[in-house]
């Protein structure tokens, strides 16, 4: 959760999975967090009182605690957003329309001009391509315009005390307090999204502690203020940490051959560019497929939607947020900023996204029908997609693994 929240680009569950940088994957419990929203303010103060000794134990000083926690109260807006974020789902085409709009591409090109020298220096140091940094910046905060103004400590106190993912948010709260203790930012300036992600590229506090850098050398790792220098370099450090391969694409749009075996699609099946080419897979814009090592065919909108060959860098971006739609948006926005064209494949725009209840029902029915959907958490991941493929194969329809209403309706 938290990805793109400030931009109104919430993909709901689809994007809620990864959470802000390095967040935990969603849990079944998270789905039920929405059922316990009425947390009386008194309970939050009691929670803070009980938390203080744990924080002291973890090495946070009394002075830091007093400065950071005085006056902190429950944020009903945060509770409400946490409750609602699992409810909404957007189709990938609706998401991409907004995430990679012409305006966002143009603003990215402007930012490339304005910050070109800085981006070259960051690229030289971290071996991370500039367009990906711009794209993440563009998606996370509209290039710094919308960095979020929710006090991070209050947001994390609210989430730690009122949701079943409390343990995760308490760890992030401790990380936030540690940042304050180290003096990188004043308590009042530590702001971000409702879910605790901060600054230009929406780092969670724990990611900040482990990976943020002071690139301008002023002695502070400042991802919050107007100047994006440290935030962009920190994002580069993050992607480098997860193995970014400079000069390689995240993926490319492809055209599948007539009679393609859809069981070969999916992130778990890898082949080299030469092998895919031999199977008739072609780059939509022409030319050779990128030679990026183990690559997979991805059909994020099912057999009727655009198809992509995804490279190892795709999985690096997944560490920022694992939703396919987010990763494709980042990669594609980066390509567009460099002058690349739009996605040429069509999307099945007549289909609507499944609701949370429908996704859970789909997983239940797949499991009952003997296809292991990996539980019924409402999150359509690789296991559920594989179960859908199995079911589709068993009834003789194209096994594209897409969680459509049609599949749900056909399940007994
Ligand atoms: Ca700095």
Q: From ligand 1's centre to the CA of 231, what distance in Å?
A: 9
- In-domain check, residue 346: no
Is 120 a member of any domain? yes
pLDDT value at residue 375: 87
Residue 396, number of CB atoms within 10 A of its CB: 7
Tell me what pLDDT residue 84 has. 75
363 within a domain of the structure (yes/no): yes
- What is the whole-number distance in angstroms between the Cα of residue 337 and the centre of ligand 1? 26
Task: Give the pLDDT confidence score for residue 163 in this predicted structure.
Answer: 79
pTM of this structure: 0.88
Ligand 1 midpoint to CA 288 (Å): 42
Q: Where are the alpha helices (DSSP H) in 219-323?
A: 229-241, 273-278, 312-317
277 and 142 in a common domain: no
- HSE on the CB side for 148, CA within 13 Å? 32
Domain boundary (243, 277, 304) is at 243
Which helix or strand (DSSP H or E) is residue 191 part of?
A: strand 191-192
Q: How many A from CA of 257 to the centre of ligand 1?
A: 51
CA of 220 from ligand 1 middle (Å) equals 4
Report if residue 344 sits inside a domain.
no
Tell me: do 131 and 16 sit in the same domain: yes
pLDDT for residue 83: 79
> 336 CA to middle of ligand 1, Å?
30
Choose the final residue of a domain: 337, 371, 393. Answer: 337
State how far the Cα of 194 lies from the Cα of 151, in Å rounded to an integer: 8
Distance 228 CA to ligand 1 centre (A): 10
CA of 322 to the centre of ligand 1 (A): 29
Is residue 211 located within the same domain as residue 324?
Answer: no
pLDDT per position as a tens digit, 175-213: 999 999 999 999 999 999 999 999 999 999 999 999 999
Domain enclosing residue 234, as ranges: 1-243
pLDDT at residue 88, rounded to an integer: 62
**Regions of the chain short of the pLDDT cut 50:** 1-37
pLDDT at residue 380, as a whole number: 87
Six-digit token string for 346: 């069509």
Q: Are 274 and 318 members of one domain?
A: yes
CA distances from 283 to 40, 312, 323, 337, 406 (A): 57, 17, 23, 20, 30
Which residues have C-beta under 5 Å from ligand 1, the single-atom ion?
214, 216, 218, 220, 222, 230
Give the C-alpha distances (Å, rounded to integers) separating 258 from 151, 255, 305, 411: 54, 9, 15, 28
Question: How far apart are alpha carbons 238 and 211 in whole angstroms?
Answer: 6
């Amino acid at each position: 959760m938290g990805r793109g929240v400030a931009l109104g680009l919430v993909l709901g569950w689809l994007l809620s999975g990864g959470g802000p940088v390095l967040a935990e994957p969603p849990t079944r419990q998270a789905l039920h967090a929405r059922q316990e929203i009425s947390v009386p303010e008194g309970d939050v103060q009691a929670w803070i009182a009980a938390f203080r000794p744990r924080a002291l134990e973890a090495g946070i000083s009394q002075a830091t605690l007093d400065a950071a926690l005085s006056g902190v109260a429950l944020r009903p807006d945060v509770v409400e957003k946490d409750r609602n974020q699992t409810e909404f789902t957007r189709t990938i085409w609706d998401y991409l329309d907004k995430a990679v709009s012409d305006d966002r591409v143009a603003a990215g090109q402007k930012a490339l001009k304005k910050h070109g020298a800085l981006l070259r220096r960051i690229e030289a140091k971290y071996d991370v391509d500039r367009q990906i940094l711009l794209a993440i910046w563009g998606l996370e905060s509209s290039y710094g315009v919308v960095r979020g103004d929710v006090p991070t400590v209050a947001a994390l106190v609210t989430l730690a005390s009122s949701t079943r993912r409390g343990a995760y948010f308490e760890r992030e709260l401790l990380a936030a307090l540690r940042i304050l203790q180290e003096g990188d930012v004043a308590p009042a300036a530590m702001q971000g999204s409702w879910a605790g992600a901060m600054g230009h590229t929406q780092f969670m506090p724990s990611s900040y502690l482990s990976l943020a850098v002071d690139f301008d050398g002023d002695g502070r790792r400042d991802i919050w203020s107007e100047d994006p220098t440290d935030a962009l370099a920190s994002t580069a450090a993050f992607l480098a940490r997860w193995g970014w391969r400079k000069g390689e694409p995240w993926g490319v749009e492809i055209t599948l051959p007539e009679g393609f075996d859809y069981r070969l699609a999916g992130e778990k099946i890898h082949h080299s560019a030469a092998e895919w080419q031999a199977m008739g897979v072609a780059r939509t814009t022409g030319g050779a497929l990128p030679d990026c090592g183990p690559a997979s065919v991805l059909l994020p909108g099912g057999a009727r939607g655009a198809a992509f060959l995804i490279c190892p860098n795709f999985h690096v971006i997944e560490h920022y947020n694992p939703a396919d739609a987010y990763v494709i948006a980042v990669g594609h926005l980066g390509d567009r900023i460099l002058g690349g064209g739009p996605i040429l494949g069509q999307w099945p725009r007549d289909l609507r996204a499944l609701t949370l209840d429908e996704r859970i029902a789909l997983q239940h029915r797949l499991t009952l029908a003997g296809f292991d959907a990996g539980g019924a958490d409402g999150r359509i991941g690789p296991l559920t997609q594989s179960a859908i493929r199995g079911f589709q194969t068993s009834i003789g329809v194209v096994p594209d693994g897409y969680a459509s209403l049609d599949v749900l309706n056909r399940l007994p």
